[in-house]
Each structure stands twice: as structure tokens, then as C-alpha cells.
Structure 1
Amino acid sequence: MGGGRKTSRLCRLFLAVLLRCCAAQISFSISEEVDKETVVGNLAKELNVNARDLQTRDLSLVSAYSQEYFKANFRTGELYVAARIDREELCPKATKCTLNLEAILRSPMSLHRIEVLVDDVNDNAPRFVEESHSLNVSESSPAGEHFLLPLALDADVAANSVKTYKLSANEYFALDVQGGDGEQSASAELMLIKALDREKQAAIKLTLTAVDGGKPSKSGTSLLTVNVLDVNDNSPTFSQALYKARVQENAPFGSLVVQLSATDFDEGDNGRLTFAFVKRAHFDPADVFLIDADTAEVTVKGRLDYEAQAAYDIHVQAADHGLSPRRANAKLLVEVLDVNDNAPEIVVTSLMNPVKEDAERGSVVALVTVTDKDGGKNGNTQCKLGSAAPFHLKSNYRNYYSLVVDGPLDREEYAFYNVTLVANDEGKPPLSSASLIAIHIADVNDNAPRFSESVINIYVKENSPAGATSHRITAKDSDMNENARVTYALLGDANGIPISSMININPESGDIVSLQSFDYETLQTLEFKVQATDGGVPPLSGNVSVNLFILDQNDNSPRILPPYSEHGSANGESVPYSAEAGYFVAKIRAVDADSGYNALLSYQLSEPKGGNGPLFRIGSGSGEIRTRRRMSEDDLKSHPLVVSVCDHGEASLSATVSIDVLVLESTADIRTQFRHVPRKEESFSRLHLYLLIAIAAVSLVFLLSLLAFVAFKCRRRTDGGAPVIAAHPDGSWSYSKATQQYDVCLGSDTLKSDLVLFPAAFPPAEAELISIHGGDTFTRTQTLPNSEKPKVPNSDWRYSASLRAGGVMQSSVHMEESSVMQGAQGVLVQNWPTASSAADAEGGEVSPPMGAGVDSNSWHFRYGPGGPGGPPQHLKAGDVPPEAFIIPGSPAIISIRQNQGGEDDKSDFITFGKKEEAKKKKKKKKDKKDKKGKDDDE
């Protein structure tokens, strides 16, 4: 009975395929272990069918499962659960579990695929294969060492699988949990966090708990016994923590998988290692692989099946042979490579035929399903078209495809298409299968005229006659008959002028005809578009851009440029008789309005033949006329030259110019000739003239500024008999001006002496200027503050400066130059504009620019004692000169000796201090002088 029902369902499915009905994918989701008659979804709504029509259209559900898990309610259109669904029973190893059904409706016939996703329910608790597990751990194991723990299994998947592990409270161990996030189950390793001591505790009892991620969560436990071993202090070490290897599923027994390597730094038995697999849960690697205990060589032992298990996660342990063996663990990941032994299968479930020519891109023509029994890459299939056709395979879902229109269809060219479908898998070597589908096409006008080029370039010679055909433009239409008949038209304008006024196109043939003669010098390029339109209904058209280039013809003669082309001018040049070979005579310049070779010019020279041969030559490219040789007596005095300028056009055009070259013998003739007939080549241009004037003006301004600066400096030195001060080795200073000479000495009996010199135009603020009048009186005009006193100079110095003294003979003295002298007895303080070192420890001397002699005036400034601790030898204390200048508050003595014509006519002293003291000293000096005169008489 069950077999008959299954056969009936298969017949219905085959009938649906024959009726070429369109299938659609419908997806539902339901949890496992739900009660019977639980509603999965509304089929009527998903199929877009009225619930009352489900029974009249004979809805049937077809599945490939032995048990009927779902049924349909024809009254409500709902799909409900008909039998208990256990996900672990249906999909024991899959992370995603689906049940596939086929829903078939008749009148009209339609096929729909139904996919029911069975969601996992946390109905299984984690479970350890071993209820107890023992570990041997050496007491010398370092903190942080990891030990493998039993793996808990959970029949549930995803979030309901094992997510974490817990360990009972203790002071030696902790758990290192890996994974547990996403869809992966968690695993755990025992990590030592505190050194063990076998003497204190030989065995440690722990409880390992595995917890899944369900809500509420479930758990399972296993008893761990840790045996603490003694002494071996070096553990084996693998060269890698993770080894990866690949092996084909048809690899013969004994095939090498991988060579492991581990070392132990101990000696003897403690360093000799033994390798072994670690059994975890239900999987024992020794059933499939073999490891050599001494060499760690892993080989194939059992039959590998990629479809059963694609990869093996193996833990390998290396243990030494010490009294307390130490172990190291490594992980080996073996990937089983699938062998491709199944070809893909192509099934066409629906076909729409015929297909209109104007079908839009993406229109479905047929539904295609491709399956492959292999797994991995060998089971991954790709389906494509094996023949050129305007169709495309569109992937819908996994290995389900739709054959859709992917290009224009043309009934007139192809009445039908034989489309070949080719399916390939990704195996090595790949396997393939093919299927042929015949598709008929119904014609419509769907092809527009097309040009072979996107841009068409046309070349027309200038001066071509109007009405000449320059080019034929052709467009093709893939349609036939009336839909392929093409007419042509011009589009666009040039510079605001309609293009149709310059050229025309034959609407039938596409010949382009010029309506006028073109001039290259006026117009070089025309840009326009040509439109091609077919005779279909509605008509279709296409455009192409056309560039019409005017080709230059040699229709312009060269033109001589001025000055030799000036209207009514006589072209004459002159050459001296003594000119050497290569002497420049003139340069001819010419231009040509054409372009390219038509504008490339060359120059030729013709002259009357002489007895000694041609006298002149011209550069064919430069146009420069130069002498070929020196002049001779046999040469003519006047040479009429004719210069011809030719272009390089196919029909060469030329222009000529005549030049009379006159040979001049004398220099006067040459100058006259140059005065009346200026040389055009060597004359200055206007720009050169402007540059010359600018340079001359700048140079003149600079020279005038320099002269003014020198004159100003000289005036400062010589104006009004500029004085000069000189310091002598004996401690005196000389001040020279005109024909007078003054000696100034600082007395030894003064407590303080100041000499202040400053410019007349800008005297220091609060400075004091003393005017000495002829009546032995002086007046105070300004006071110099103590803060303005200059610094003490070095005793080794030289100085030269101008000093202007006005009105001395008129009973006044003015200090003008910027200088200050201040100091106590025997000390000089100066701040002069210019100074240089060259003196002894007692004073310095600088020779003035103006000589001080018999016919000159000079002041000798003597500072400090003339000798050790005494005044100058030629002065006596208390003597006062007739003329002096002082700074009040500074009782220094300045002696001024006035020399006339080199003779010592007067010797007067002035004492800086009170006026009465000065008069007493003056009287004393006069008495001394009178006494000296008497002694001289005696």
C-alpha cells in the first residue's frame, strides 16, 4: 500500500514536469518535538490560492521520506504536523536540518517546492562518554601547563550544544575553555595554576561539569582524578602545537599522512619519547590511523570516507620514559580530500515556448535543477550555457537556476535556438554533463540601426568643387525586410549655422556631399551627427558622430615680411670693400598661410655672374645673406640680387624680392651710407632702446647719490676749517684749526676734570655749554646729567674726528662733535665716533688728516700729570690762560697756547672753578710773565 502511494506521488511529480509549470520555493520554520496538528504555515496564502480551491484543484504533497510528517487542511489551507519530528533522528550530524516537500496543484498545473526548517530544541543534556577520568601530573609541572580533559557530547546543535565547562573549587587547577561561541561546541583543558606537592596530597579529586547553551541549560558531569607523580623535570616539546595534513579518501593503507617531531632535553630514559594517540569520546584515532611509537610517523590504517567524515581532529601525546613520565600534547588536523566520482545531473522542470523577440531581459524561459552526489568541492556544481545564445543562467537558490533572456532576440536571423546547458563540478579532474533545449523565437522590430564605428572621420581637400561626394556612411540593422530598411539624416549645426547649409547626405545611400568649396585657412574642422532610422513600427534610430577634416592644399604663395616688402620702398644694402667672407648683409623673412610642408620655406639667391664667381650666398632655411668671399678689384660696385622664396608644396609656389647691394670703399662713404640707408638687421628695436634708457637712468641716479654722499662727508671734514684733535705721547692733545694752535692741560691740583664734546645740532639733554667771553667771563647754557657720562676708554687708543669751534676769538667756544671726555686726575673717559688702538700706557696719539704746523691753529689737550704725579712741565699750578672753556663743577685746568706763525705769542691759563679764582690765577700769571721779561732783559 505504501509503495503504491509513493508511485502515485512520483507520477504526479512527473506529470507536473511534463506540463512545464513554473515552480517556486516556499520556506517554513518549526521547532522539533512539537505536538501533532501544530500549524506550520498557510499554504493557500503562500501559493496565492483561495483556500476553497485547494480541494477542487486536487492539492497533493509529495516528499521523499518514508514517513509523512506534514498534511494540508483543505478547509483552511493550513499546513500542519502529522507525525513527531525529532531533529536528532533526521539530521544527526547536520547543524541545519530541513525537510523538503513538493506541492502540486492541477487545473492549471503548478509545482511548488516547500522547505521546512526544523529548529533545534534543547532536549538533550551534555554527556561524557567516560564517567571518570584519571590524569597523571608530575609535581614538577610548571604553573600554566595544560592537560586534556574528556569531551562532553550533546546531541543538540548550535546554541543548545555544549557552551562551557566548570570545575569544582580547588587551589591547584583551573579550566581553560576554548570555543563555545557561535555555532561551535566548547572544549576545555585543565590548567595548573599552582605547583603540586605529592608529599602533601598524592591524588586530587575534581568534578568536571559540561553546560549547554539552552534556556534552561542542561549539564553533565565526570569525575576527574589527578595523580601527582614525582620527579622528572623536563617535559617533551613538539616542534609545532598544531599539525595539518591532507589525505585523499582513496589513499591506500600505509600511506604516509604526516611526520611528527618532539624533543626532550633529559638524558637516558627521561629523554626517550613514546608517541601515542589520545582517545576522546567515541572517536579513537587508532581505528583509522597508525602512529609509530618511536618515530611519530602517522600513516593510513583504515578506510577513509569523505562523505562520512571530512576531517579528523586528533590529539597526539609524547611521553618520556622517566620514573615519573612527563607528557606533551599536540594537535593533528587531518583533512580528507574528496575523490570526484559522480557527474552532475541536469533536470529541466519547466519551459516557456515560443519566446517573443522583444522579451525583456530577465524574462524566464525555463527552470533548471543541477544535482551532484559528491561532497565538498566535488559536489559543488556550476551550470553554464555551452553554446552562444542571447540567454543567461541565473542562480536562484543553491543548485537551482532560471534560464532567462539576456540579450536581443531576432526572429528574422534565427528562428530558433538550440541552447546547450553544461554542468561541471569542481573535482579534479572535473566531471560534466550536458542537456539540449530547443527555443523558438517570435519576431518583432527590436533592433536599431548600428554604425560600425562610434566616431567617423572624413577628410576633404580644400577648394574641392561643390557637389563632390566625400564619404559614404553605412549603418546596419540586424532585422529583416521592412525593419531593416535604413534612412539617413543630418543633425546639429556648426558655429550657429545649420550643418545642412554646408553639406548634405543622401537619405537612402548615406553619401555625404559638400554644398560648398572649403578653405582650410578659414575652416579646419566640422563636427556633426548622422542619424540612421529603420522602417519598423515604431521606428528605431541610431546616431554617430562625424568629424569632417579639411585638408590643406598649397594655394597660398609665400609672403615677404617688412621692411623688404614695404610698398614703394627701394631695397638697398651696403657692404664695405674690406668685408671678410661671411659678412652679414641682410636677412629676408617670409611667411606662408598654408600649413605643414606647404608652409615650409626655402630661400634661393641669384646674382649677376662675375669673373671671380658669386660674391654672396643665402641660408636656405634662415634667409640670411652673407658674403661668400672677400672683395676683389674685378667685382662690380653694385650687385642687384634677387631672392626667391619657395614653399614645399606638391605644386611649389614662390615669391621674389630684389635687393641692390652697394660696395663702399671709404669709411666716409660707409658712414654716409649708414646715415642715409640704416641697416635694418643691426638697428635697435624699440624694446632695446627702452632698456638702454632705463639702464642709463639707474646708473646716473646711483652716480649722483654717490657723489652727494662723498661731498657731504668732505664738507663735514672741511667746512669752517674743520678742527682735528691729536693725542701726543707726553699726555697732551692737539686741536688744530686755521693758523692757530692751542695747548690744553689738566692741572694736577684739580679734584675732577670734565671735557664734554657733542654735536651742535643735537646737544645732549641737560648738557652744559660754556661760552668764554673776551672780558674773562663765562656763561653756563646747559647742564649735562651724570647719567649721560661716557665710559672710560682703554689707555691705548687713537682717535681722529672733526671738531667745529665757533666764536673763540669772539669770546665763545662751542663743542659740536659727538664726543665726551671725563675723569679724575690722570684719567681719560672718552666716547668718540672713531678710535683705533696704537699708544702707550700714559696716553695715545693720532695724526690728524690736516697737518698742524707753523701756519696752522691747533689745540693741545694735555690730560693727567705730565710726569709721575705732577702737572705738565710747561705749566705751573694756578696759571690761567686768557681764553678757555669749562664745564662747571669740574675744577680742571685747561691751558690754551695760541701760536701765530709758529711763535709762542701768548700763554694763558684758565682755572675751572669760581670766577674770582680764575682772575687771581690770571693776575699771578701776568706778574710771572713780567718778571720773566725782566730776567730776559738782564
Structure 2
Amino acid sequence: MFEIEAQSGDVRIKGDIDYEEKAAFEIRVQATDKGPVTMSGHTKLLIEVLDINDNPPDVTVTSLLSPVEENAGKGTVIALVMVSDPDSGKNGAVRVRLASSSPFKLQSSFQNYYSLALDGVLDRENVTEYSITVIAEDEGSPPMSRAKVIQVQVSDVNDNAPRFPNSVVYAYLPENSKLGSIISTVRASDADIMENAQITYSLLQSSVTGSPVSALFKVNSLTGEIESMKSFNYEDIKTFEFKVQATDSGVPPLSSNVTVNVFILDENDNSPGILAPYSELGSVNTENIPYSADVGYFVAKIRAVDADSGYNALLSYHISEPKGNNLFRIGTSSGEIRTKRRMSDNDLKTHPLVILVCDNGEPSLSATVSIDVVVVESAGDDKTTFRHAPIKEESFSDLNLYLLIAIVCVSVIFLLSLISLMAVKCHRTDRSLGRYSAPMVTTHPDGSWSYSKSAQQYDVCFNSDTLKSDVVVFPAPFPPADAELISINGGDTFTRTQTLPNKEKMQLSNA
């Protein structure tokens, strides 16, 4: 480790000196002279090694708990950390910290020992593994440091229930489908892993139209495919719903539900049905029309219904036989049979017609009805009472509804106008009458009476002879120069109208 200069006695370092290996040395030195008789002397050399900051701190991790469950509580100890520095003094004083923020913290247990503990909430679905960097730094000059990375894995717990993409699933199944037809597939996902994410599907018990849902459908427990267990008829049931449950394999198991709405799609599996009074595939129906029937004369109306829906129930009417008939026509949508022209002597007396009723399905289904149209000369020649077009309350079309609204509006406007006109006229009449005083008749003790109107006054005098009375009519004051004598013979009623100077007329009678 050391060497000494033989002549000068200088002691020099020969090897590497490490304070951490040996902090002091004790060297014995001998000095010898060169006399005839050699003599020597001895001394002890003590060498103390001074420490320098040449060693970084050391970090040791023990008792690592990995993986840690994601539902671990706050304060759970994950690992024990021990730090050391072989230097001395400040060079060996170490400070410990975490490099970045994380749901963990370091707690000092005792000198140079620390515990790594949980300081937050773990969620494996967000972070599956943490890389925790522990930095140890001494207080030397310059300081030295060392980092230690601790890998902590988060283990899964069953804290997530299966989830469906939608809360309601719509499925469509044509009627008369075969048994085992797949109507829909439901799929759920689970954010957990392994057993906690293994999902099985099942039907929740319920009833549909009085039958348990398990008798109508079944669901594949692994794939979620829903199969029909029977054939459905649109005319019996059109829609229904049930629930499918998804359950994971965790402990404890978690589950969620989805509602399945099944709509039965109509197929064209029903032929049109002819309504009374006509019958299909039965006896021939007879209708009578007069020989003098005009063009467009109503003969009969064929009515039919179809149990299907939509286009499958859209019916059209056609004359199937005789082909090329030019005497009758039928409304394609209304089913009304009318004449196309007037009768001629060359026409038959009986016209057999075969009416074909077709729906609009694919393939189209149809029904037929036979009608014999008999031409009669007049109502007296045939005792059969002619049947007129059936009167039926039908729902108004949009055009009829608009027409009715327009008629009502016009009628209301006309009535309001008429009432307003009468009110104005009455008001004017009241104002005109207000200018004149009401007529007044006054009877006097001597048998005479007076008639006064407005500013005019007329006196009438009678004598004691009841068989003949003279009535003198004149305007006041009395006597007027233009007074006129009116004679009324007793027993007879006589009326005389006298034109007065004020242009007014009066009638007198002896009743």
C-alpha cells in the first residue's frame, strides 16, 4: 500500500487506498546507518485516511408485495426500502424520495429504513402496473445519488359488472319462421380479466301471452344467440319483450340485463276474404238492373278484407270473366261494379261475372266471387226489388275534410255578416225613431178623441147619432181651411185615408 524512499525517507502511496476498506494505517519504519557496526532505529508511522464522497447511496428493496389487489386500502405497505452509503459524515447522510407522483408514498420506519405504502385508490382497468422510482441522494459535495425502480403490478378483482352496448335490443322475426331460427345476438363486455370477465347468458323468467318465455326462446349461454322455439303467427301476436341476463364468473358474481323487443314481421300468408252479402266459392249471387240503366249505373259493391297488414293487405278488384266484357267495369280500389254503356237489344239478359280480388303481397294471393247480373225490362215486370248502392258511413278523406271545413267557415262568415248588417240597420232605425215622439190618443168626456203624432194633432168629434157619424179630420189649430168631412154609415165598416198636409196618412173605421 505504501513505499518509502531509502535515502530520503519519503513515504509514498503505492496502491489504492479506500477509506471504506481501511480508514487508518500503522507503519513501522526502520532507519539503519552504514558504520562498521550497523546500528538502526525504529519508529511508528500512523496514517489516517480522509473520506471523500466517492460512493453513491445504495437502495435495497425487501418484502415486495406484488401484485397488489386493486381494492387494497389506503396505507397498505407494498415494500420495505433500505438505503445505505459507505461514506462518512455528510457524505454518508442520505435523503430518499419518489421521482414522480403516484398513488404511493414513502414512510420512514427507523434510520435508513423506509416503507412504501399505498396513498390512493388503485384501478386495474385504468392502470395495470406502476413503475415506482425511488431516488436516494447523499449530502456530499458534490452530492451523489442513485435511483431504484420498483415494479408493482395491480391484480384484478371483480368490481365491474358485464355491460351491454344498449339497454334495449330490437329483433325482427318473420312469421312462420322455422324452429331454431336465430332472431338476434346479444353481447356484453366486462372490463375485468380472466374469470371475472367470463360471461354467461340466460333468460330471465317471465311470461309472454300466458306462456313462459323459456318455452318460446332460448339463449346460447356462451355466444348470446337467441333462438326461437316455435313458429309465430303475425295475426295472433305482433310484438313482445323479454329480458336477457349476462353474469360474470367472479366472486361474488355480477350481472346486468338487456331488454329484447321482438317484432313479428308479416308475411303474405292470408288470402282475401269476401264479405257479406256475397260469398266466395259458394252459390252464385244475383243482381238485377233495369234495361234503361244509364252509363255508370251502380250494380253492386264487392267488399273484401285481408288479415295481413301493409302491402300484403292492399287489395285490388278485377273482372276475371268474361274477358273482354264491355258492358261492366269495376273500381280497382273501391270494388264498385257499374255499367260502362247503355243496354242494347243485342246484349244478353243475364251476364255472369267472376270478380277476382287480389292482394299486393309477394307472391300475390287472391279470391273470387261469382255474380249473375240479370237485366229486367221494368220494375213492374219483375217483382224483385232492385238493390241500391249500400249507404255506408265511411270515413272522410282528407279532401272531404278540407271541403267540409271550408263550407263551415264560409257559413260562419255569412252568418256573422248577416247579424252585423241587421244590427247596423236596427241601430239606424232606433236613431230615426228617436227624432219623433210616439203616437198618442186622448179620449174626451164628450165622446171625442184626439190623435197626436210628432208635432201634428188631429181632433175627431162624434155626435150622439150612432147610425151616422161625421168625422172631421183636420190639423190643429181648429178649424183648418182645408178640413175635409168623412162620413161613416152606421153598421158598415168604411175606411177612408186622408192625405194630410204633413204627408202622413191615417185610417179610421167604425167597427
- Partner residue, 2:165: 452
Q: Does 1:572 align with 2:286?
A: yes
Shift of 1:601: 0.6
3-state DSSP of counterpart to 1:451: coil
* 2:301 match: 587
Query: Is the Cα–Cα contact under 8 Å of residues 353 and 440 in structure 1 kept in the other structure?
Result: no
* 1:599–1:353 distance in 2 versus 1, CA, 3 Å: farther
1:409 aligns to 2:409 (yes or no):
no
Give the C-alpha shift of residue 452 in structure 1: 2.6
Q: Deviations over 1:147-169 (max 9, x none)?
A: xxxxxxxxxxxxxxxxxxxxxxx
For residue 110 of structure 1, report the CA deviation from its aligned partner: 11
1:563 aligns with 2:315: no
Shift in CA distance, 449/863, structure 1 to aligned 2, threshold 3 Å: same
1:660 alignment partner AA: D
Note the residue ranges of structure 2 that are not aligned, 5 or more in a row: 1-56, 62-95, 107-116, 133-148, 394-436, 495-511
Q: Which secondary structure state, in structure 1, belongs to the residue aligned with residue 124 of structure 2?
A: coil
1:99-155: CA deviations, max 9, x gaps?
xxxxxxxxxx999xxxxxxxxxxxxxxxxxxxxxxxxxxxxxxxxxxxxxxxxxxxx
Matched to 2:387, the amino acid is R
Letter aligned with residue 528 of structure 1:
F
Report how far residue 594 of structure 1 moved.
Answer: 0.7
Amino acid at match of 2:443: Q
The C-alpha deviation readout for 1:447-471, integer Å capped at 9, x for no partner, is 3222233211111121223343333
Alpha carbons of 1:353 and 1:858: their partners in 2 closer, same or farther (altered >3 Å)? farther
The 8 Å contact of residues 606 and 643 in structure 1, kept in 2 or not, is answered as yes
State the Cα deviation string for residues 537-578 of structure 1 (Å, max 9, x = none). Answer: 111112111111111111221111222239987622223333
Counterpart-to-counterpart distance in 2, 1:683 and 1:632: 29
- Conserved? CA contact 2:232–2:264, under 8 Å: yes
Distance 1:677 1:659, change over 3 A: farther
Q: Is residue 644 of structure 1 aligned with residue 356 of structure 2?
A: yes
Q: How does 1:374-385 map to 2 (within 5 A)?
A: none
Evaluate the alpha carbon distance shift between residue 840 and residue 534 of structure 1 in structure 2; reply closer, same or farther with a 3 A threshold: closer
Given that residues 314 and 359 in structure 2 are in contact (C-alpha distance below 8 angstroms), is that contact kept between their aligned partners in structure 1?
yes
Note if 1:631 corresponds to 2:343: yes
Choose the corresponding residue for 1:605, options 298, 301, 319: 319
Contact 1:472-1:511 within 8 A present in 2 as well:
yes
**CA distance in structure 2 between the aligned counterparts of 1:478 and 1:595, rounded to whole angstroms:** 45
1:661 Cα deviation from its structure 2 partner: 0.9
Distance 1:585 1:873 in 2: 81
Counterpart position of 2:136: none
Q: Take 1:792 and 1:351, find their aligned partners in 2: how far apart are those partners?
A: 110
In 1, are the aligned partners of 2:174 and 2:267 still within 8 Å (CA)? Answer: yes
Could you tell me which of 212, 223, 226 is aligned with 1:512? 226
Matched to 2:104, the amino acid is M
Deviations 1:762-785 (A, max 9, x none): xxxxxxxxxxxxxxxxxxxxxxxx
RMSD of aligned alpha carbons: 4.8
Residue of structure 2 in register with 1:523 after alignment: 237
Consecutive aligned runs of 4 or more in structure 1 exceeding 6 Å deviation: 436-439, 566-569, 824-827, 863-867
Q: Which runs of 5+ in 1 are unaligned?
A: 1-14, 20-108, 112-346, 355-363, 367-402, 420-435, 686-790, 795-819, 846-856, 875-894, 903-938
Gap change, CA 1:601 and 1:566, over 3 Å in 2 = closer
Instruction: Give the counterpart letter for 1:409 in structure 2.
Output: R
Task: Write the letter of the residue equivalent to 1:645.
Answer: V
Taking the TM superposition and a 5 Å limit, the aligned residue runs for 1:8-19 are: none
Q: Quick one: distance in 1 between partners of 2:468 and 2:200?
A: 121
- In structure 1, the residue matched to 2:177 is 464
The offset of 1:647, in angstroms, is: 0.9
Alpha-carbon distance change, 843 to 606 in structure 1, aligned in 2, over 3 angstroms: farther
Q: Which residue type is aligned with residue 352 of structure 1?
A: F
Does the C-alpha gap of structure 1 residues 824 and 573 become closer, same or farther in structure 2, counting only changes over 3 Å?
same
Aligned match of 2:377: 665
Q: Deviations over 1:304-345 (max 9, x none)?
A: xxxxxxxxxxxxxxxxxxxxxxxxxxxxxxxxxxxxxxxxxx
C-alpha distance in 2 between matches for 1:844 and 1:607 = 96
Q: TM-score by structure 2 length?
A: 0.52
**Is this contact kept in 2: 1:574–1:664, CA < 8 A?**
yes
Q: Distance in 1 between matches of 2:364 and 2:152?
A: 69
1:481 aligns with 2:481: no
Corresponding residue for residue 500 of structure 1: 214
Contact map agreement 2:302 2:335 (CA 8 A) in 1: yes
Give the 3 Å change call, closer, same or farther, for CA 350–472 of structure 1 in structure 2: closer
Distance in 2 between residues matched to 1:900 and 1:648, nearest whole Å: 91
Q: Structure 1 length as normaliser, TM-score?
A: 0.30
Partner of 2:104: 352
For this pair of structures, how many residues does the alignment match? 323
What is the Cα deviation at residue 524 of structure 1? 0.8
Compute the displacement of 1:353 (Å). Answer: 8.2
SS at the partner of 2:380?
A: helix
Indicate the residue corresponding to 1:823 in structure 2: 444
Give the direction of change, closer, same or farther, for the CA distance of 1:667–1:441 in structure 2 (3 Å limit): same
Task: Quote the Cα distance in structure 2 between the aligned partners of 1:438 and 1:583.
Answer: 98
Question: Following TM superposition, by how much is the alpha carbon of 1:534 offset from its aligned partner in structure 2, in angstroms?
Answer: 1.1
Q: Residue 548 of structure 1 corresponds to which residue in structure 2?
A: 262
Output the amino acid matched with 2:389. E
User: 1:886 maps to what in 2?
Assistant: none
Amino acid in structure 2 at the alignment position of 1:590:
A
**Is residue 2:389 matched to residue 1:681?**
yes
Give the partner amino acid of 1:652: S
Distance (Å, rounded) in 1 between the aligned partners of 2:188 and 2:438: 108
Secondary structure of 1:641's counterpart equals: strand
Deviation at 1:858, TM superposition (A): 7.5
Q: Is the 8 A contact 2:458 2:474 kept in 1?
A: no
Does the aligned pair in 2 maintain the 1:559–1:591 contact within 8 Å?
Answer: yes
Query: 2: CA distance between counterparts of 1:865 and 1:660?
Result: 91
% identity of equivalent residues: 50
1:302 is matched with: none
Instruction: Tell me: CA distance 1:457–1:792, structure 2 relative to 1, closer, same or farther (3 Å).
Output: closer
Q: In the alignment, is the contact (CA less than 8 A) between 2:219 and 2:226 conserved in 1? A: yes
Partner Cα distance (1:634, 1:900) in 2: 80
Shift of 1:351: 4.4
Distance 1:901 1:579, change over 3 A: closer
Secondary structure of 2:343's counterpart equals coil
Distance 2:309 2:179 in 1: 23
The separation in 2 between residues aligned to 1:873 and 1:552, in whole angstroms, is 102
Q: C-alpha displacement at 1:596, in angstroms?
A: 0.9
Match of 1:620 in 2: 332
**1:597 counterpart SS class:** helix
Aligned-partner residue type, residue 446 of structure 1:
D
SS of residue matched to 2:191: coil
Q: What does 1:850-929 correspond to in 2, within 5 Å?
A: 860=469, 862=471, 868=479, 898=490
Residue aligning to 1:330: none
Q: What is the alpha-carbon distance in structure 1 between the residues aligned to residue 345 and residue 484 of structure 2?
A: 96
Inter-partner Cα distance in structure 1 for 2:203 and 2:470 = 112
Deviation at 1:650, TM superposition (A): 1.4
Cα distance in 1, alignment partners of residues 104 and 359 from structure 2: 74
Post-superposition offset of 1:625: 1.1
The amino acid of 2:238's aligned partner reads Q
Is contact 2:160–2:190 with CA below 8 Å preserved after alignment?
A: yes
Contact kept, 8 Å, 1:607 with 1:639, in 2: the verdict is no
Contact 2:472–2:484 (CA<8 Å) still a contact in 1? Answer: no
Match of 1:98 in 2: none
Spell out, residue by residue over 1:793-828, the C-alpha distance to the aligned partner (whole angstroms, 9 max, x if none): 46xxxxxxxxxxxxxxxxxxxxxxxxx741377973
